[in-house]
Amino acid sequence: MKFTPDDENEVHDVVDFSDPGRCHVTPVIQLPAEISLAITDALGGVVRAAHRTPAATTQDGDGIQRAQTFEEGDVYMLDAPFDGFFADRYLMDFYDVIDRDICSRMHLHTGLRFVRMMTGPGTRIRVSSLSPIDVTHVEGVTPFRPEVFEDTAPDAPDGVHRTRYNLVVPENSWADMQIPRGVSHQFNAHGPHAVIDSVHPEESIETFRERISGYKMMAQTIFLAKEQPASEACKLE
């Protein structure tokens, strides 16, 4: 999928891009504000601690740097792959796009992802894709129906229209997202209390397949825009 395996800012043309599948979102639970705040603060605190710790910000004996930075937030690899186990697990402490006045770019990954999004008080996550997002709803079990809407993708060049499909994870909520390999998506958190718990089920396989020299989230990413737009491009009402 990559043109240059270790490029951490590889951009492909959004005009010619076509999703090979769709993302699936499953609402999980809604929590009282004080509980959701305790969870998001505790998990975000793990990431923040990692980014202050030399053992996590430098490579270990296996060449793995656990604390990394992505466009959507700071990340920390909780569990690394090992012989006979291909997957790993990351926590992401989201940036507040309004506070920073900048959105993440639409992108795709070189392997599939399984993501749990968690929000606290006064915080929502806008999830977007260039293909419709399928939402699981089991009557009597699924706790909420997320808001969905469409708009125009801001990254397309002049004269080209691409529809962007959006879903909003409300405050004090958890929602899971299954992202197939190569399917476009972006996350933008509105508010200070948003965390992702993300499993990369084929991490060591995709790294080998793409000939990437290590476990680097940015190198496992292909962007569909050259620059990050201002927060107006991912606003919520």
| Chain segment 15-33, per-residue pLDDT in tens | 999 999 999 999 999 999 9
> Can you say how many angstroms the Cα of residue 155 is from the centroid of all Cα atoms in its chain?
18
DSSP 3-state assignment of 3? coil
Query: Per-residue pLDDT averaged across 169-173, rounded?
Result: 98
Q: What is the DSSP letter of 85?
A: B
The two structure tokens encoding residue 94: 């989201």
What are the tens digits of pLDDT across the range 78-131?
999 999 999 999 999 999 999 999 999 999 999 999 999 999 999 999 999 999
Answer yes or no: are the C-beta atoms of 72 and 187 closer than 8 Å. yes
Q: For position 126, what pLDDT does the model report? A: 98
The secondary structure element, H or E, covering residue 42 is: helix 33-50
Q: Please, what is the average pLDDT of the chain?
A: 96
Statement: residue 46 has pLDDT above 90: yes
Query: Model pTM?
Result: 0.96
Statement: residue 39 has pLDDT above 90: yes
Query: Per-residue pLDDT averaged across 183-200, rounded?
Result: 98
Residues 6 or more apart whose Cβ sits within 8 Å of residue 236: 124, 126, 168, 190
Statement: residue 237 has pLDDT above 90: no
Query: Per-residue pLDDT averaged across 146-167, rounded?
Result: 94
Amino acid identity, position 204: S
Distance (Å, rounded) from C-alpha 65 to C-alpha 14? 31
Answer yes or no: are the C-beta atoms of 111 and 205 closer than 8 Å. yes
**Residue 157: pLDDT band with limits 50, 70, 90:** confident
Alpha-carbon distance values, 54 to 65, 69, 76 (Å)? 10, 15, 13
Distance (Å, rounded) from C-alpha 211 to C-alpha 219? 10
Residues 6 or more apart whose Cβ sits within 8 Å of residue 57: 50, 51, 65, 67
Fold of 24-57+64-224: Jelly Rolls (2.60.120)
Q: For position 236, what pLDDT does the model report? A: 96
